[in-house]
Amino acid sequence: MRIRKKSWADKEFSQNTTIIDDPREYKGKWHELFGNDNPIHIEIGCGKGNFISEMSIAHPDINYIGIERENMVIVSALRKSREMGVGENVKFFCEDVANCLEIFEKGEIDRIYSNFSDPWHRRKKWAKRRLTHRNFLNLYEQLFGEKGGELFLKTDNRIFFEFSLNEIADKGWTLHNITLDLHNSDYEGNIMTEYEKKFSEQGMPIYRLEGYYNRKPQQT
């Protein structure tokens, strides 16, 4: 589906300093761009930006990067971040996640958030498109490097969630904080996405997991 261009998009792109026009220029230099050695967390499919903007405000000692494929989607995240008054610890760029090794050096990323990605559940042959398919997990392992890293996932789709659990377990990662109903669990500190708020208001359960590659789960 083609997304209609927003009348205010050009102005937002030209004036918002959080957007990175050519992220490949910063491969191996993202810490220099942020001006510190804080951990870097990325959100794949940042949507309208509520989650990553709130995370950046709640955790100023973490650097955040929001990634989207569509310009007319990410521009909404830019406006959201500006309206919320985010600090210097958040950036955005448009790109397909499959190209991330052209953008990040191995070991530059500490955590990946995948919130309500397309489950691609209607046809079996679409499984390779899922962001938790082993091909993508292999990609994430390279982004994490030898130091390891973390994948935090939320979804409303049970089929996709069960698939993700199996793929992550088969890769030998450690699974932690698995919940089949996030909003009725004892998990603390949850920040909702736009989709999450919509689905929860409809009474739909939210599934969540944490996958750790070469790294021990955090103590909670």
Read off the pTM.
0.94
By the 8 A CB rule, do 12 and 78 touch?
Answer: yes
CATH number of this structure's domain 30-213:
3.40.50.150
| Res. 118: pLDDT tops 80 | yes
What DSSP letter does each residue of 89-131 carry, written as one string? TEEEEE--GGGGGGTS-TT---EEEEES-----S-GGGGGGST
Positive or negative: CA dihedral 79, 117, 65, 208:
positive
Of 118, 170, 181, 186, catalytic: 118
Count CB neighbours of 63 within 10 A.
Answer: 24
| Active-site residue flag, 118 | yes
* Residue corresponding to tokens 């997990």: 137
Average pLDDT over residues 88-116: 97
Using alpha carbons, list the distances in angstroms from residue 146 to 131, 170, 186. Answer: 21, 19, 32
The model's confidence at residue 3, banded by pLDDT at 50, 70 and 90, is low
pLDDT at 219: 60
pLDDT digits (tens, 9 = 90+) for 39-54: 999 999 999 999 999 9
